[in-house]
Amino acid sequence: MLTKLSINTATRDEMIDITSKVKNFIKESNVVSGIVTVYTAHTTAGITVNENADPDVKHDMLMRLDEVYPWDHSKYRHAEGNSASHLKASTVGTQQTLIIEEGELILGTWQGIYFCEFDGPRTRTVYVKVMSEE
Protein backbone atom coordinates (compact mmCIF):
# COMPACT_ATOMS: atom_id res chain seq x y z
CA MET A 1 0.00 0.00 0.00
CA LEU A 2 1.16 3.51 -0.81
CA THR A 3 -0.02 6.88 0.45
CA LYS A 4 1.10 10.45 -0.11
CA LEU A 5 1.34 12.87 2.79
CA SER A 6 1.24 16.60 2.14
CA ILE A 7 3.51 18.52 4.50
CA ASN A 8 3.28 22.30 4.81
CA THR A 9 6.45 23.87 6.15
CA ALA A 10 6.67 27.32 7.69
CA THR A 11 10.37 28.18 7.75
CA ARG A 12 13.52 27.66 5.71
CA ASP A 13 14.87 24.90 7.99
CA GLU A 14 12.65 22.78 10.21
CA MET A 15 12.02 19.23 11.33
CA ILE A 16 8.40 18.06 11.47
CA ASP A 17 7.49 14.93 13.42
CA ILE A 18 5.43 12.71 11.09
CA THR A 19 5.51 9.59 13.28
CA SER A 20 1.79 9.62 14.06
CA LYS A 21 0.89 9.95 10.36
CA VAL A 22 3.07 6.95 9.50
CA LYS A 23 1.64 4.91 12.40
CA ASN A 24 -1.92 5.74 11.32
CA PHE A 25 -1.22 4.54 7.79
CA ILE A 26 0.29 1.31 9.12
CA LYS A 27 -2.90 0.71 11.14
CA GLU A 28 -5.05 1.36 8.05
CA SER A 29 -2.95 -1.09 6.02
CA ASN A 30 -3.65 -3.96 8.45
CA VAL A 31 -0.10 -5.23 7.90
CA VAL A 32 0.93 -7.48 10.77
CA SER A 33 4.56 -8.06 9.83
CA GLY A 34 6.57 -6.20 7.21
CA ILE A 35 8.37 -2.97 6.50
CA VAL A 36 7.47 0.63 5.87
CA THR A 37 9.51 3.00 3.75
CA VAL A 38 9.12 6.74 4.25
CA TYR A 39 10.47 8.70 1.27
CA THR A 40 10.50 12.25 -0.01
CA ALA A 41 11.16 12.99 -3.67
CA HIS A 42 12.70 16.41 -3.11
CA THR A 43 16.34 17.44 -3.53
CA THR A 44 16.22 19.95 -0.69
CA ALA A 45 14.41 17.91 1.97
CA GLY A 46 15.05 14.72 3.89
CA ILE A 47 13.70 12.02 6.19
CA THR A 48 15.40 11.01 9.41
CA VAL A 49 14.76 9.05 12.59
CA ASN A 50 15.88 10.75 15.77
CA GLU A 51 14.87 11.72 19.29
CA ASN A 52 11.38 13.16 19.62
CA ALA A 53 11.26 13.76 23.39
CA ASP A 54 13.39 16.89 23.72
CA PRO A 55 12.79 19.69 21.16
CA ASP A 56 16.33 20.92 21.76
CA VAL A 57 17.60 17.98 19.71
CA LYS A 58 15.88 19.35 16.59
CA HIS A 59 17.27 22.80 17.33
CA ASP A 60 20.80 21.44 17.79
CA MET A 61 20.67 19.33 14.64
CA LEU A 62 19.47 22.21 12.48
CA MET A 63 22.00 24.59 14.07
CA ARG A 64 24.89 22.24 13.37
CA LEU A 65 23.79 21.55 9.79
CA ASP A 66 23.68 25.33 9.28
CA GLU A 67 27.22 25.61 10.64
CA VAL A 68 28.51 22.86 8.37
CA TYR A 69 26.53 24.06 5.34
CA PRO A 70 26.04 27.83 5.69
CA TRP A 71 23.26 29.36 3.66
CA ASP A 72 25.25 32.34 2.36
CA HIS A 73 28.54 30.70 1.42
CA SER A 74 30.22 32.83 -1.26
CA LYS A 75 31.81 29.86 -3.07
CA TYR A 76 28.54 28.14 -4.03
CA ARG A 77 27.95 28.16 -7.78
CA HIS A 78 24.36 26.89 -8.01
CA ALA A 79 22.34 29.76 -9.47
CA GLU A 80 19.21 29.19 -7.36
CA GLY A 81 21.16 30.03 -4.20
CA ASN A 82 20.06 26.95 -2.25
CA SER A 83 23.21 24.81 -2.39
CA ALA A 84 23.22 24.51 1.40
CA SER A 85 19.77 22.91 1.19
CA HIS A 86 20.99 20.32 -1.33
CA LEU A 87 23.99 19.49 0.86
CA LYS A 88 21.84 19.10 3.99
CA ALA A 89 19.37 16.85 2.14
CA SER A 90 22.17 14.63 0.85
CA THR A 91 23.62 14.36 4.35
CA VAL A 92 20.30 13.45 5.99
CA GLY A 93 19.03 11.28 3.12
CA THR A 94 15.65 11.03 1.43
CA GLN A 95 14.24 7.89 3.05
CA GLN A 96 14.04 5.59 6.05
CA THR A 97 12.95 1.95 6.08
CA LEU A 98 11.52 0.64 9.34
CA ILE A 99 10.15 -2.64 10.69
CA ILE A 100 6.50 -3.44 11.38
CA GLU A 101 5.85 -6.29 13.79
CA GLU A 102 2.54 -7.35 15.35
CA GLY A 103 0.94 -4.43 13.51
CA GLU A 104 3.17 -1.88 15.25
CA LEU A 105 5.98 0.31 14.01
CA ILE A 106 9.19 -0.62 15.80
CA LEU A 107 10.93 2.49 17.11
CA GLY A 108 13.11 3.06 20.15
CA THR A 109 11.60 4.71 23.22
CA TRP A 110 12.68 8.21 22.24
CA GLN A 111 12.64 7.86 18.44
CA GLY A 112 10.40 9.61 15.97
CA ILE A 113 10.27 10.01 12.18
CA TYR A 114 10.99 13.50 10.91
CA PHE A 115 10.45 15.29 7.66
CA CYS A 116 13.37 17.70 7.33
CA GLU A 117 12.78 20.92 5.40
CA PHE A 118 15.90 22.69 4.19
CA ASP A 119 14.49 25.13 1.62
CA GLY A 120 11.11 26.30 2.88
CA PRO A 121 8.54 27.37 3.39
CA ARG A 122 6.88 25.03 0.91
CA THR A 123 4.28 22.34 0.48
CA ARG A 124 6.08 19.01 0.28
CA THR A 125 5.15 15.41 -0.44
CA VAL A 126 6.16 12.37 1.57
CA TYR A 127 5.43 8.87 0.28
CA VAL A 128 4.75 6.08 2.75
CA LYS A 129 4.89 2.52 1.39
CA VAL A 130 3.86 -0.41 3.60
CA MET A 131 4.92 -3.88 2.47
CA SER A 132 3.67 -7.05 4.11
CA GLU A 133 5.88 -10.03 4.84
CA GLU A 134 3.00 -12.34 3.90
DSSP string, the chain: -EEEEEEE--SSSEEEE-HHHHHHHHHHHT-SEEEEEEEE--TTEEEEEEE-S-HHHHHHHHHHHHHHS-TT-TT---TTS-HHHHHHHHHH-SEEEEEEETTEE---TTEEEEEEESS-S-EEEEEEEEEE--
Whether pLDDT at 73 is above 70: yes
Whether pLDDT at 59 is above 80: yes
Q: Quick one: pLDDT at residue 79?
A: 63
Q: pLDDT (tens digit, 9 = 90+) per residue, 118-128?
A: 999 999 999 99
Q: Quick one: pLDDT at residue 116?
A: 98
Q: Tell me the CATH architecture of domain 2-132.
A: Sandwich (2.60)
* Lowest-confidence region among 5-9, 82-86, 113-117: 82-86
pTM of the model: 0.94
